[in-house]
Chains A and B, each alone.
Chain A
Amino acid sequence: MIHTSNLSKKYNANLVLNIPSLAIPKGQSFGLVGNNGAGKTTYFSLLLDLIQPTTGSIKNNNIPVHESENWKPFTSSFIDESFLIGYLTAEEYFYFVGELRNQNKADVDKLLAGFEDFFHGEILKQKKYLRDLSKGNQKKVGIVAALIGNPEVIILDEPFANLDPTTQIRLKGIIKNLTEKQAVTVLISSHDLMHITDVCERIVVLEKGEIVKDLATNAATLKELEAHFSGAVVV
């Protein structure tokens, strides 16, 4: 589904991302881990054409993202709070995103009905603008908005951060359901090794912009990742 080739991003002389090749097949749940500055958000921003690559390209369903805009209808994302419109209520925001993705109110309402326990009664019918919601609740809105319109590719940057434990567990269920039952390609990044090994079938470790590990998740993956990040050598 997503093919990355010869991708690099330089800021002045500083190479922040260098991925010679990376292919993510359709329906995979793909996890990206790495310390701060490893290039996770840079990679996602390149994938969304928010910054320009220095060399190489990313093809999303065979569409080069920085040449055509045709990847937009089937790709959705939530990177940070700047994806929210602060002066709308949650419903208005969902309907707005719905209209952009050709979904009418009934479609959106149907989708939202499935997330009632995820929202925990704190999102809908609150008569509050998004800017007045707490960070965690804003995140819930952003994540659910990214699911509107049956996207085939969903990109979530650190979806677990700021969420309460209950919601984290529910989110894991949602992501698993998407990839297993609906064959949606989900890309997430996280600093929480436990969560990401729980949800993702494949985990890539970035370090200073380079891929240093590419693992198919199994029972030993969490140990291996922990060893990697604590600096120990894995035998």
Chain B
Amino acid sequence: MVKHFISLEWKSFFRSASFGKSIGIKIFMAFIALYFTAIFLFLGFFMFKILKEVFPNQDPFVVFNGLLFFWVLADLIIRFFFQKLPTMQVKPLLALPVKRKNIVNYVLGKSLMAFINFLPLFAIIPFGITLMLNGYALSNMLVWMLTLVLMVVINNYLNFIIESISAETELAFLPMLIGVAVLFGLNHYQIINISEGLSKGVRAISENPVWLVVPFAMVAALYAFNFKILKNKLFLDSGLKEKVAEISTSNLEWTKNFGAIAPFMQLDLKLIWRNKRSKSSVWIVLMGLLYGLFFYPQPTYQSMPWFFVFIGVFSTGIFLINFGQFIPAWDSSYYKLLMSQNIKYEQYLQSKFTLMALSVAILFILGIPYVFFGWKILLAHFVAAIYNIGVNTHVILYGGSFNRKKIDLSQKAAFNYQGTGAVQWLLGIPLLLIPMGIFALFYFLVGFEVACLVLASLGIAGIVFHQKLMKGITAKYLQSKYKMIDAFNQNN
């Protein structure tokens, strides 16, 4: 059975329309993976020395175990945002003589194969070996390593439970962040000393392997819980059972002010608000807006004005990046309609542009309180907003003409959680780094004001040549029209 599943996935990967594109991203991801592997190996080999250096009077083994709690928390957060339960096209399998049990076991088993589960091994094994070489008992160390591997597995399955629960609520990642913050706080203010407790527990297990029962039992319990959740989702009508909520319609009259593009703007707004997938990006916007609060209160960043622009582009452009990178894939499920209807391509794109430009303006206005941290910050945010409207919007629209990947909006949440993966963040990098690079260059060569001026004039140039740019972008979309229709027609 597993053999069949693997061959199905193999085919769906190599035969998909976006194959060429995803292989490029996969290669890039492979480089990132190598980079992290190298870092973890380095940490593993030198951990003993580092700990001896930093805490000369303490046992490195004990110190390391004391840090485990923080590693667990960080690991959970990273997993929550980047690790998704492996997906599989299950609908066609449901009517075939395949046991549901097998499908679920396969999906859960496959989730262990994720790179993030192997990464800690690169640090744990070398560190364990250096400990042995420094006189720790071989048997204890082996049990200790096994315990840590079990902790990785526990985190792996715990994460899917958290994700499936948070996917049912509107707030997505807020409960997760609050939960982690509370745990961290309890520990930090010594209300409950979790890190010490965990450390003692792990050391107790390595002294006495009988206690391995505890982590094993936890893995079994979490696996069983995941199994139950997933198995319940494997019914065709599990989506239907959720009552089809009565919906209220709004006519969004205010969009009429935008003239010919009004129908498209109404459509886009409804698209964002009525689909789970796009709705989650609204919450990301909130996070992006508050992003500056991580940095500005710290004095270190106050003396780095070139960094303000990065925060500015990010916090005013978070919607632009999130929404823009999936243009025109948002409309992929009815793309044929748009292409055969009585519309002008330029109006369709103009509507997306207007929406993004508006979001930048609104986010800038909402971000004005940052002036509390200095007028330079506000100025930097202002030029960043201009740059976003003038340059980044056009860049991201242009990039959209290379989009060949369908988004299935109507897909019920079955295996599709927040819909934010690593790739989404990677695509934002050039949009953020280029303005920061330009700004930093002029900042160090001339000064803050000139750097602001350069960035703002780039943005204004983009706004001035808007019509011309849109013509070029529209032509590019028309060129790839048939390819897009074909790709959006394919599933996967």
Contacts and interface: CB of A to CB of B under 8 A. Distances in A.
Interface residues of A, number: 35
A52 B334 CA distance: 19
B409 A50 contact: no
Contacts of A100: 263, 341-343
Contact of A50 (B249, B275, B485): B485
Given A49-B340, A87-B270, A88-B270, A99 B263 contact: yes
Interface in B59-104: none
B409 A82 contact: no
Contacts of B343: 72, 100
Contacts of A52: 482
Interface in A63-118: 69, 72-73, 75-77, 79-80, 82-89, 91-92, 96-97, 99-102
B22 interface: no
Contact of B485 (A51, A91, A92, A102): A51
A75 B482 CA distance: 19
Nearest to B275: A87
Q: Among B249, B340, B343, B344, find the residue whose CB has the most chain A CB atoms closer than 10 A.
A: B340
B336 A83 contact: yes
A48 B333 CA distance: 17
B247 A51 contact: no
B340 A51 contact: no
Nearest to B482: A52
B334 A89 contact: no
A129 B247 contact: yes
Given A72-B340, A73-B342, A100-B341, A83 B244 contact: no
Contacts of A96: 263, 266-267
A145 to B, nearest CB: 9
A127 interface: yes
Contacts of B248: 127
Contacts of A92: 249, 270
Interface string B218-256: 000000000000000000000000001011110000000
A190 B447 CA distance: 72
A41 to B, nearest CB: 11
Contacts of A89: 247, 249
B275 to A, nearest CB: 6
Given A51-B485, A51-B486, A75-B340, 16 more contacts: A50-B340, A52-B482, A72-B341, A77-B340, A82-B334, A82-B336, A82-B337, A83-B340, A84-B334, A86-B333, A87-B409, A87-B410, A91-B249, A99-B262, A100-B341, A131-B410
Interface of B: 244, 246-249, 262-263, 266-267, 270-271, 274-275, 333-337, 339-344, 409-410, 482, 485-486, 489
